[in-house]
Amino acid sequence: MSNNFEAIIRGIRKSFNTKEFIPLHVPQFWGKEKENLLDTIDSTFVSSVGAFVNKVEEQMTDLTKTAKAAAVVNGTAGLQVSLRIAGVNPGDEVLTQALTFVATANSIAYNHASPVFIDVDKDTMGLSPIALKNFLEEFGDLREEGCFNKKTNKRIAACMPMHTFGFMCRIDEIVAICDDWEIPVVEDAAEALGSSYKGISAGKFGQTGVFSFNGNKIITAGGGGVIVSREPEFAEKAKYLTTTAKVPHKWEYVHQEMGYNFRMPNLNAALLSAQLDNFDHYKSSKAELYLEYKALFEGSNVELVSIPKDTNWNYWLMSACFEDKKERDVFLEKSNESGIMTRPIWQLMYRLPMYENCQKDEQLNAEFLEQRIVNMPSSARK
Ligand SMILES: Cc1ncc(COP(=O)(O)O)c(C=O)c1O
């Protein structure tokens, strides 16, 4: 078995053609990043308004074919505001997956609501429509004021599926089920820029969709996020709330509700705009790496996780599925020891102290994946 792992480790090193440490995912700057950054300094528009903020919002509506976008300070803030726009109030519940990065659950808690964890599908690693339907049939109670949870008597105010590693969950089925139960959907598309499902972009299925441009994502703003929507009113509301809910006026400060200062600075938008210009290049470079990994893993008894049906993938973070936790841990040990960064998938959210008492379903697939999935180095190469 360990011979097998050594061949994989040698193969990864060959793909990155270096004797140095190989990180999991690093940004690459191949375009006008420096030029754009210098432009913002020369213009003095380094803060929260500026031409690059507007440009990024246009680039994002073009890329996702949505109606409108609002650039924000990071993906987490984008999710928090999207849930508020969806009508999540203190004391409500939001259906989501336990197999996710902690920001998904935190964005629910920031609205003083509680996450309820629904299982994922094994192939997409995203929220399972079957598990969602089963949960709602058992616990859902559709009343005049919305959908309520029979067990807790709390309102189920939203559903937030996540597109794991850029794979698309069965989002059309999820939206259809949520429509039946009058539950708005917010897509956590933080990892899925450039992915689509049955030809439709991530972020376009829900009421809003939120992308992250953290340094580890397919492209970066340094730090940043963008909220998109196919309905202009939701993105406009996002812009308003993230701009301190300021009512436009030439000189007066007018605020009619509590907003946030969650705007993306023009400096970050300058960097992101250059990255967006080269988006196709990043995606195709990563697609080549995936093909190399495919050939490498074919000769081994470790499974490279393959692209689920109906997904056009952005190749963000590649992963392998091991026979069991023991095998996984041997590989993690050997690869990290030899200077190749690999990482297990996240701990399920209900293992974390702040979410341990949240309601959850059986979680058979989430627990299966939690024990076996490892992320491989996936940076774009020039
Ligand atoms: C699934 C998921 N949701 C939310 C976020 C939060 O994005 P950010 O780091 O931009 O706040 C991330 C990434 O960091 C993520 O991977």
Task: Give residue limits of the domains in the chain.
Answer: 2-27+279-350+359-375, 33-278
Q: At 141, which helix (H) or strand (E)?
A: strand 140-143
CB 75 near ligand 1, within 6 Å: yes
- Report how far ligand 1's centroid is from the alpha carbon of 78 (Å): 10
CA of 76 to the centre of ligand 1 (A): 6
Residue 204 neighbours by CB under 8 Å, 6+ apart: 64, 65, 66, 228, 230
The answer to whether 134 and 116 have CB atoms below 8 angstroms apart is: no
Task: Tell me the two tokens of residue 8.
Answer: 């994989």
Question: 99 alpha carbon to ligand 1 midpoint, in Å?
Answer: 13
Residue bearing tokens 């987490």: 76
| Record: fold of 33-278 | Aspartate Aminotransferase; domain 2 (3.40.640)
pLDDT for res 4: 80
How close is the Cα of 165 to the center of ligand 1, in Å?
11
Please choose, from the candidates 213, 208, 172, 206, the residue with its C-alpha nearest in 3D space to the C-alpha of residue 192: 213
DSSP 218-282: SS--BS-EEEEESSHHHHHHHHHHHBTTBPP-SS---BSS---B-BPPHHHHHHHHHHHHTHHHH
Q: Which residue's CA is the nearest one to ligand 1's atom 8?
A: 75
Rounded distance, CA 224 to CA 354, Å?
A: 25
- For the chain, how many residues are written? 382
Is residue 51 within 8 A of residue 264, CB to CB? The reply is no
Centre of ligand 1 from the C-alpha of residue 108, in Å: 13
pLDDT at 257: 95
Instruction: Indicate if ligand 1 lies below 6 Å from the C-beta of 212.
Output: yes
Residue 65 region by backbone torsions, left for phi larger than 0, else alpha for psi between -120 and 50, else beta: left
| Whether residue 97 has its Cβ less than 6 Å from ligand 1 | no
| Cα 186 to ligand 1 centre (Å) | 14
Query: Do 100 and 349 form a contact (C-beta atoms < 8 A)?
Result: yes
Token output for 162: 């996540």
**CA 137 to CA 94: how far, in whole Å?**
16
Residue 220 Cβ inside 6 Å of ligand 1? The answer reads no
- The helix/strand/coil state of 39 is helix
Six-digit token string for 316: 């963000």
Asked if domains 2-27+279-350+359-375 and 33-278 share a fold, the reply is no
What pLDDT, on the 0 to 100 scale, is given for residue 3? 55
Q: What pLDDT score was predicted for residue 155?
A: 98
Q: Whose CA is nearest to atom 10 of ligand 1?
A: 75
**Spacing, Cα 188 to ligand 1 middle (Å):** 8
Sheet holding 200-201: strands in order across?
200-201, 196-197, 311-312
* Atom of ligand 1 lying closest to residue 78 CA: 11
Q: Is the CB of 76 within 6 Å of ligand 1? A: yes
The C-alpha atoms of residue 338 and residue 341 are separated, in whole angstroms, by 9
Per-residue burial over 258-288, b = 16 or more CB atoms within 10 Å of its CB, e = otherwise: ebbebbbbbbbbbbbbbbbbbbebbbebbee
Nearest partner of 219 among 269, 265, 282, judged by Cα: 282
**Whether the CB of 74 sits within 6 Å of ligand 1:** yes
- Residues in CB range of 238: below 8 A, 6 or more apart: 70, 72, 78, 81, 82, 85, 208, 227, 229
Give the DSSP letter string of 292-321: HHHHHHHTSSSEEPPPPTTEE----S-EEE
- As given in the structure block, the two tokens for residue 266 are 């023009």
pLDDT tens track of the chain, all 382 residues?
555 899 999 999 999 999 999 999 999 999 999 999 999 999 999 998 999 999 999 999 999 999 999 999 999 999 999 999 999 999 999 999 999 999 999 999 999 999 999 999 999 999 999 999 999 999 999 999 999 999 999 999 999 999 999 999 999 999 999 999 999 999 999 999 999 999 999 999 999 999 999 999 999 999 999 999 999 999 999 999 999 999 989 999 999 999 999 999 999 999 999 999 999 999 999 999 999 999 999 989 899 999 999 999 999 999 999 999 999 999 999 999 999 999 999 999 999 999 999 999 999 999 999 999 999 999 999 8
Q: Give the C-alpha separation, 81 to 198, whole Å.
A: 28
CATH no. of 2-27+279-350+359-375: 3.90.1150.10
Our answer on whether the CB atom of 103 is closer than 6 Å to any ligand 1 atom is yes
